Chains A and B, each alone.
Chain A
Amino acid sequence: MSGVRVLVGTRKGAFVLTSDGKRELWDVSGPHFAGWEIYHLKGSPADPNRLYASQTSGWFGQIIQRSDDGGKTWHQPGTPPGEPTTTPDGMPKGESNKFVYDASPETGKPLTKHQWYDGKLRPWEFKRVWHLEPSLTDPDTVYAGVEDAALFRSTDGGQTWRELSGLRGHGTGPDWQPGAGGMCLHTILLDPSDPGRIYIAISAAGAFRSDDAGQTWRPINRGLKSQYIPDPNAQVGHCVHRIAMHRSRPGVLFMQKHWDVMRSDDAGESWQEVSGNLPTDFGFSIDVHAHEPDTVYVVPIKSDSEHYPPEGKLRVYRSRTGGNEWEALTKGLPQRDCYVNVLRDAMAVDSLDSCGVYFGTTGGQVYASADAGDTWAPIVRDLPAVLSVEVQTLP
């Protein structure tokens, strides 16, 4: 019988939640990497046993972890337990946490500063990996979105990383600035119909697209309006929180911006607002039903200064029309005194026949719906604050 594996990153470790296709009874494994911030973990679409995790600490920096057995055991790529810790020529391994910006004269050198909160220029400084996106076809290829915003790629299973500096260097980099959470590259979408096409999003710079596998990039923010920047229609500077697509229709994108829920029908060339009847169009997470490309989910959050659901009612909103018309999904979710947040990477869907929808909260709950959002139940209630949720549908 098929099943699901839910990968949960929290402020104090990672958890793996598994169930069969009914999604009623759950096994909870963890905490893995106890005490560390796990910004994100995700499985390879090409090999469900291959998982990657971003483990970070304000004290000890960035660690990349990898599992080759579906999360039962983990190791830092390049230094598996029991293997020699040096290469045959005596050089130490352990480069899996080495993220060094491209400083070559050709691409990196003129691009080493970005805007800071006070409007001054500040050099790029690596802080952490926010998002890991494994290749759709090769388990050893994985992309990393990092703070300060840049895109890295590994083609050796996470052992070594190289910046795709055409993004930071395409020209608008010096105008990027951090959002409240830092200047992070948090969204990476790989187009399943075109191996060359990659979408990424940065807070607070906006959305960008490459059509040549990450070598060159350009902003795709036409139609976004952000009242909090000097030119609301600027080419960059928009605080995009999350972008989602349906794999059958990769040219259609849905975006939760700082404020506004947006839609593009032309691969990001232009955007239209589809906030419609949402109670507030601020939020972080957004995702698309596994089998219905026009069914979209968001979790409205009251405002940029009040990061909790309006009226203390935790409601997922679902549109079956690709936006504009939204219905509140409340059955099984707390409808009073609820003041948690749902962060940008903390919602995911499975691809079972009856699509499962999952999200985690900063209060430590992970909620699941096995009927596309009609009803909800908590899988766990008392984890550390949830930073990310991903789902693998297992054969």
Chain B
Amino acid sequence: MIRVMLPAHLRALAHVDGEVTLDVEGEATQRSVLDALEARYPMLRGTIRDHVTQQRRPFVRFFACEQDLSHEQPDAPLPDAVVMGTEPFFIIGAIAGG
């Protein structure tokens, strides 16, 4: 079970409070977690990754275990603590703008 923490605006879009928990088939990677997230909350499609290119949107960042994972490969395995559910996978809107 993967725990995902969404930024406030995306929690509002998905109509959820607090953490989201996901069952991910196969290896837990950025891609597989985001695929599972979007399958469960399709209203989030296009808000984290571009609809067509599947690239991370420029002002969205991924963190876990006090590490910035934003530039990791999409298919790289996530840290064990995220896979075990002891640490959440954070999706964060960059601090910018007004």
Contact = CB atoms under 8 A, between A and B. Distances in A.
A152 to B, nearest CB: 13
Given A36-B9, A86-B39, A92-B38, A61 B46 contact: yes
Given A59-B57, A60-B48, A97-B47, A76 B94 contact: no
Given A61-B57, A94-B43, A94-B45, A35 B38 contact: no
A79 B59 contact: no
Given A36-B9, A60-B9, A63-B13, A85 B41 contact: yes
A213 interface: no
Q: Is the interface of A mostly helix, strand, loop or mixed?
A: loop
A59 B42 contact: no
A97 B38 contact: no
Nearest to B93: A59
A81 interface: yes
Interface in B25-81: 38-48, 50-52, 57, 59-60
Contacts of B8: 35
Give the interface residue-count category, chain B. Answer: 20 to 34
B10 interface: yes
Given A100-B51, A100-B52, A57 B13 contact: no
Contacts of B13: 60, 63, 76
Given A60-B93, A100-B52, A94 B9 contact: no
B97 interface: yes
Given A35-B9, A76-B13, A85 B93 contact: no
A86 B46 contact: no
B57 to A, nearest CB: 6
12 contacts: A59-B57, A59-B59, A60-B13, A61-B50, A61-B57, A63-B43, A76-B13, A76-B43, A85-B40, A92-B42, A94-B44, A98-B51
Interface of B: 7-10, 12-13, 15, 38-48, 50-52, 57, 59-60, 93-94, 96-97
Given A60-B47, A60-B57, A86-B42, 20 more contacts: A33-B12, A35-B8, A35-B9, A36-B9, A58-B59, A59-B9, A59-B97, A60-B13, A61-B47, A61-B50, A62-B46, A79-B42, A81-B15, A85-B39, A85-B43, A94-B44, A94-B45, A94-B46, A98-B46, A100-B52
